[in-house]
A and B are shown apart, each in its own frame.
Chain A
């Protein structure tokens, strides 16, 4: 693998080809906030919180660092007025659903986000997809998935699979950035509608 030199927040960073900006930044201890990223999973690019600013030839462009590949001589700023403004908005939008999630509260403090900016619609789920993707990509069970689309999108366990697989696994619960109990609740709901008793 060839080495790629780029600059992140004024720091010279050596990265390997194929790395993303997020990986390159974290490799030298520069932190970028994320909600849907997990090192074991394919980048999802859903929460958009890891947005950063690229500077090139006098103009700048915002890109999402969890999917943007490193390039030679890139100049990356992980914080700027605009980046912060957009992150603040994303946090506020998510807090309409999960106002008491610890991860979101910490981020809100950092970015000065107002958890009451938008009318509350508590659903806990912020659609990061960690549970869905972990079950599919790591466990290869597909016991939980998204249903419907847009603002009606929800996570849902597939009772037939969940009844067999979930009791002894539950590895998705602690991944949830808003409320682990929510996943337990959704799972219990799915199983309650399923007639067959869970296997021991």
Chain B
């Protein structure tokens, strides 16, 4: 492959790529991100290859293994082009039918289509499915169109045009001003304006500067950066290179956690291909600008997502944040000006350069521009990645796109912003998502985690869970974080176990103040958020746990008991047979009793009791009624009476 030496040569190359592609040729695309690989995409891919060969269609059909489409609940997803017929939850045995029916006969396989749960109608096209319909996928949408391992796919959708425009048609300052004007705010947590960060580095003294991609995404349940890096690595590289040009950096780093093997593989491949084509390396596109990118695999510490800890780790030392009050865009990696942005932020840059800041600022709210990708997980019907314009109300994301709460349960809260974010209750569901709006509600944007919780979720236990995560991930350098969280976790654990004391809530508040005011880094300073936001909106749950030893959500094991209502029990023996600890006193035609001494509160009896009886109930905060006397336990069946 010879290097592409100018924008004209790039356009020539692109034309050539496109001319080899027939838009009417059938193409089977299959999502192959980590999520879908886990649900069987690799096997489906093998089946597609085999079937195409078997039916003698190798020359007539293209197969494309793309990145994540986002609708992971229904993956693996197959889309047949050019008709754009979408099939969901595909398993290998569906493949022969897809090939012979849809590819050969141009007939739709009804049973594999999406069924709208509200109308029961079958939907053929992606754009008509509610999950996709209400999204605006300016960054994430390319994922479903390209094979991340094939640079020609990226070029076919206009890839590296923004780089050519920036390097040869704009000055570094013009690029910077465009990004500033777009008011692109960091998608990784703080929401700091990227343009200002870049400008600080550009103006900082020193000849050697760095640009860095933060791909150390570590929030539980969040995988949007992972999916962008896996599915469209060139967009990140292109954004990073444009940023390097604006800042005056000639070296860039991608700090990616080693738990993301596919992202590591695809980004390595992308760098190699970009170098071969002349999008990275010396004299990029004949512009005279040099830039190289190095991949650094993180060893898996949450705190390394914090900017100064990340840079310390890049330098080869233990990933601990720096205590100094200097901005890392001025004094960063190896003491040099360093711009750190996360994956999604960098992936937005080519769009801004291509389409302009005016286009970008049309999307979003007054202070939060563009779109945001959220990872929608938890008690939600449509688990997956969703990209919406900033300002979209939470309820649209959860109900219109997410399809609401499964199992007829009631919505309780949504946790945004990762472990250091907060929980937002039902009466705030009209809240438009934006950096400042979420912060004002006591939560934060973070990197875009969104965990939906239903009525069965105990908010005290949620706070305990996140504190447990953060305690485990604290680097341990400063006292307010290491020791403060140790104590907060102890107190919260005690509360969920019914050992809460008067004064515990106040002590938690004082420990929170110490962390917010005195902790060293953002992880420590935000560590009390899970507690503070749940206390703000669900104080009564804390008080019920402490004062009445009652868990209102009937979730905390130590505070609940399982009880069989003698009025409802039909002595069917189901629960007794399934109980793993033989804790159900039962016999044929004898009303069953839970032996509270033996019960381990695993909840099996509650789950298996036939819905028509619903005899097993959970009790909290009150004594379990005494078992009915043995002589009263016999059930006289009506049929036997006759």
Chain A hits for B486, CB < 8 A: 151
Given the complex of chains A and B, what is the CA–CA distance between A44 and B436 in angstroms?
A: 33
Q: Is A51 an interface residue (CB 8 A)?
A: yes
By Cβ-Cβ distance, the 3 closest A-B pairs, closest first, are: A45-B323, A153-B476, A93-B483
Q: Does B520 lie within 8 Å of A46, measured CB to CB?
A: yes
Interface residues of A (CB under 8 A from B): 43-49, 51, 62-64, 66-69, 82, 85-86, 89-90, 93-94, 96-97, 118-119, 126-127, 146, 148-153
Contact string, B477-506, partner A, CB cutoff 8 A, digits 1/0? 111101111110010000000000000000
Q: Does A64 lie within 8 Å of B482, measured CB to CB?
A: no
Q: Does B514 lie within 8 Å of A43, measured CB to CB?
A: no
Q: Is B517 an interface residue (CB 8 A)?
A: yes
Chain B hits for A97, CB < 8 A: 483
Chain B hits for A49, CB < 8 A: 479
Chain B hits for A126, CB < 8 A: 479
Chain B hits for A118, CB < 8 A: 487
Chain A hits for B355, CB < 8 A: none
Residue of A nearest to B487 (CB): A118
Known contacts A90-B514, A93-B484, A119-B490, A149 near B301 by CB under 8 Å: yes
Q: Does A63 lie within 8 Å of B325, measured CB to CB?
A: yes
Chain A hits for B325, CB < 8 A: 63, 67-69
Q: Does B478 lie within 8 Å of A93, measured CB to CB?
A: no
Q: Does A89 lie within 8 Å of B476, measured CB to CB?
A: no
- B residues 462-478 with Cβ under 8 Å of A? 471-478
Chain B hits for A90, CB < 8 A: 479-480, 483, 514, 518
Chain B hits for A153, CB < 8 A: 476, 482
- B residues 310-334 with Cβ under 8 Å of A? 318, 323-325
Chain B hits for A45, CB < 8 A: 323-324, 477-478, 520
Given the complex of chains A and B, what is the CA–CA distance between A184 and B367 in angstroms?
A: 57
Given the complex of chains A and B, what is the CA–CA distance between A183 and B411 in angstroms?
A: 54
Q: Is B510 an interface residue (CB 8 A)?
A: yes
Contact of B474 (CB < 8 Å), options: A46, A69, A89, A151: A151
Contact of B479 (CB < 8 Å), options: A43, A68, A94, A149: A94
Given the complex of chains A and B, what is the CA–CA distance between A175 and B577 in angstroms?
A: 64
Contact of B517 (CB < 8 Å), options: A46, A82, A93, A152: A82
Q: Does A149 lie within 8 Å of B476, measured CB to CB?
A: yes
Q: Does A93 lie within 8 Å of B487, measured CB to CB?
A: yes
Known contacts A67-B324, A89-B514, A151-B486, A48 near B479 by CB under 8 Å: yes
Given the complex of chains A and B, what is the CA–CA distance between A149 and B318 in angstroms?
A: 10
Given contacts A90-B514, A93-B484, could you give 12 more A-B pairs where the C-beta distance is less than 8 Å? A45-B478, A46-B478, A51-B517, A51-B518, A64-B518, A86-B517, A90-B479, A90-B480, A90-B483, A149-B473, A150-B471, A153-B482
Q: Does B483 lie within 8 Å of A94, measured CB to CB?
A: yes
Chain A hits for B510, CB < 8 A: 85, 89
Known contacts A82-B517, A149-B476, A150-B471, A43 near B323 by CB under 8 Å: yes
Chain B hits for A43, CB < 8 A: 323-324
A45, A96, A146: residue with the most chain B Cβ atoms closer than 10 Å:
A45
A44, A89, A153: residue with the most chain B Cβ atoms closer than 10 Å:
A89
Number of A-B contacts (CB under 8 A): 99
Q: Does B482 lie within 8 Å of A127, measured CB to CB?
A: yes
Tell me how far the C-beta of A197 lies from the nearest C-beta in chain B, rounded to whole angstroms.
31
Q: Does B520 lie within 8 Å of A146, measured CB to CB?
A: no
Q: Does B511 lie within 8 Å of A89, measured CB to CB?
A: yes
Contact of A150 (CB < 8 Å), options: B324, B473, B517, B520: B473
Chain A hits for B475, CB < 8 A: 149-150
Tell me how far the C-beta of B305 lies from the nearest C-beta in chain A, rounded to whole angstroms.
14
Tell me how far the C-beta of B334 lies from the nearest C-beta in chain A, rounded to whole angstroms.
16
User: What are 18 contact pairs spanning A and B, CB under 8 A?
Assistant: A43-B323, A45-B478, A46-B323, A46-B478, A46-B520, A47-B478, A48-B520, A51-B517, A63-B325, A93-B514, A118-B487, A126-B479, A127-B477, A146-B318, A148-B476, A150-B473, A150-B482, A151-B474
Residue of A nearest to B483 (CB): A93
Q: Does B520 lie within 8 Å of A151, measured CB to CB?
A: no
Q: Does B480 lie within 8 Å of A48, measured CB to CB?
A: yes
Chain A hits for B301, CB < 8 A: 149
B303, B511, B518: residue with the most chain A Cβ atoms closer than 10 Å:
B518
Q: Is B519 an interface residue (CB 8 A)?
A: yes
Chain A hits for B482, CB < 8 A: 127, 150-151, 153
Contact string, B582-619, partner A, CB cutoff 8 A, digits 1/0? 00000000000000000000000000000000000000
Tell me how far the C-beta of B325 lies from the nearest C-beta in chain A, rounded to whole angstroms.
5
Given the complex of chains A and B, what is the CA–CA distance between A63 and B324 in angstroms?
A: 10
Given the complex of chains A and B, what is the CA–CA distance between A153 and B480 in angstroms?
A: 15
Q: Is B565 an interface residue (CB 8 A)?
A: no
Residue of A nearest to B474 (CB): A150
Chain B hits for A86, CB < 8 A: 513-514, 517-518
Known contacts A46-B479, A119-B490, A149 near B474 by CB under 8 Å: yes
Chain B hits for A85, CB < 8 A: 510, 513
Given the complex of chains A and B, what is the CA–CA distance between A46 and B485 in angstroms?
A: 15
Tell me how far the C-beta of B45 lies from the nearest C-beta in chain A, rounded to whole angstroms.
39
Chain A hits for B318, CB < 8 A: 146, 149
Given the complex of chains A and B, what is the CA–CA distance between A148 and B475 in angstroms?
A: 9
Tell me how far the C-beta of B516 lies from the nearest C-beta in chain A, rounded to whole angstroms.
9
Known contacts A68-B325, A86-B517, A48 near B476 by CB under 8 Å: no
Contact of B476 (CB < 8 Å), options: A67, A69, A94, A151: A151
Tell me how far the C-beta of A103 lies from the nearest C-beta in chain B, rounded to whole angstroms.
14
Residue of A nearest to B477 (CB): A46
Tell me how far the C-beta of A55 lies from the nearest C-beta in chain B, rounded to whole angstroms.
15
B323, B325, B474: residue with the most chain A Cβ atoms closer than 10 Å:
B323
Tell me how far the C-beta of B591 lies from the nearest C-beta in chain A, rounded to whole angstroms.
45
Residue of B nearest to A51 (CB): B518
Contact of A64 (CB < 8 Å), options: B323, B477, B490: B323
Given the complex of chains A and B, what is the CA–CA distance between A150 and B323 in angstroms?
A: 16
- B residues 263-283 with Cβ under 8 Å of A? none
Q: Does B476 lie within 8 Å of A150, measured CB to CB?
A: yes
Given the complex of chains A and B, what is the CA–CA distance between A92 and B39 in angstroms?
A: 50
Given the complex of chains A and B, what is the CA–CA distance between A63 and B519 in angstroms?
A: 10
Given the complex of chains A and B, what is the CA–CA distance between A66 and B323 in angstroms?
A: 9
Residue of B nearest to A151 (CB): B486
Given the complex of chains A and B, what is the CA–CA distance between A90 and B325 in angstroms?
A: 21
Q: Does A67 lie within 8 Å of B517, measured CB to CB?
A: no
Tell me how far the C-beta of B505 lies from the nearest C-beta in chain A, rounded to whole angstroms.
16
Tell me how far the C-beta of A47 lies from the nearest C-beta in chain B, rounded to whole angstroms.
6
Given the complex of chains A and B, what is the CA–CA distance between A26 and B134 in angstroms?
A: 61
Contact string, B551-579, partner A, CB cutoff 8 A, digits 1/0? 00000000000000000000000000000
